[in-house]
Structure 1
């Protein structure tokens, strides 16, 4: 028995890109840092919250790249000239990626108490019924 992929299923036409997106998101550099929550705030909206204590707004970048929401953080190392007896809080960079479905729009990004909130909204597509004319061959 052979395993059928989403792009090879006979009734699922044009979904090859979705399969590539899933593969790419599985390979993305999401190593568990920083921790995050995803909550559904209404029937059509979501909020991603990342714990980014120690980061300033200017240390963070949020981009939308080919249906992928990418959040990057890079702290400047301000430890030069300082002598640490213990350094448990390191300046660490990160990249978090989230694949967004068609129709999901990125809204506000809010920094609050060491948490970065990114709001998403799913736009409801309108139902369209189209009649296709049959031509004689």
Structure 2
């Protein structure tokens, strides 16, 4: 049973959140194959999908901009095989994951029926916070924020002339 929510009151009372609300409106119940999303470290993540009976050449993992697509398609079984009961799913699947900015796929492996996709957030150096040095008005002495008292050069010159 799927419960639907009316998001129209949120559309009326928010500005700039339309993309987020559209995503909430399109959420569907979990489909096959089942998967886990794990946070391994601060900037590392892992998606593990249960894809029993699929071989590596039957699965395609593609990152396109900020979306990760995982597609699986079984090769045709030989017609000479007669299956009396099919309990292992062999249907094709398509799964997509929205990735945050600067998250990249670093690897994928298939072992014991589990597809593991490693992801890492790599923020470019130019977007990371950096400390800015503050120069004095004449540009002679740079002031830093280390809370250490500093002498300004022109005060030293006054003291040497007076002596």
TM-score greater than 0.5 by the shorter chain: yes
SS of 1:82's partner is: coil
Q: Give the number of the structure whose residues are more often helix, by fraction.
A: 2
Question: Retained in 2: the 8 A contact 1:77–1:91?
Answer: no
Question: Retained in 2: the 8 A contact 1:36–1:48?
Answer: yes
Structure 1: stretches of 5+ with no match in the other structure? 130-137
CA-CA distance at 1:85 after TM superposition: 2.2
Partner of 1:126: 128
- In the alignment, does 2:9 pair up with 1:3? yes
User: 1:26 & 1:66 partners in 2: Cα distance?
Assistant: 20
User: 1:73 & 1:114 partners in 2: Cα distance?
Assistant: 13
Partner of 2:97: 98
1:16-55 equivalence runs, <5 A: 18-19=19-20, 22=23, 26=27, 31-55=30-54
SS of 1:3's partner is: helix
- Cα pair distance change 1:61/1:104, threshold 3 Å: same
With structure 1 as the length reference, what TM-score do the two structures score?
0.72
Question: Retained in 2: the 8 A contact 1:73–1:94?
Answer: yes
With structure 2 as the length reference, what TM-score do the two structures score?
0.62
SS of 1:58's partner is: helix
SS of 2:74's partner is: coil
Partner of 1:111: 110
SS of 2:27's partner is: helix
Worse-matched range after superposition: 59-68 or 75-84: 75-84
Question: What is the number of residues matched between the two proteins?
Answer: 121
User: 1:89 & 1:64 partners in 2: Cα distance?
Assistant: 28
Question: Retained in 2: the 8 A contact 1:69–1:97?
Answer: yes
- What do you get for the CA RMSD once the two structures are aligned? 3.0
Work out which structure has the larger RCO, using CA pairs closer than 8 Å and 6 or more positions apart in sequence: 1
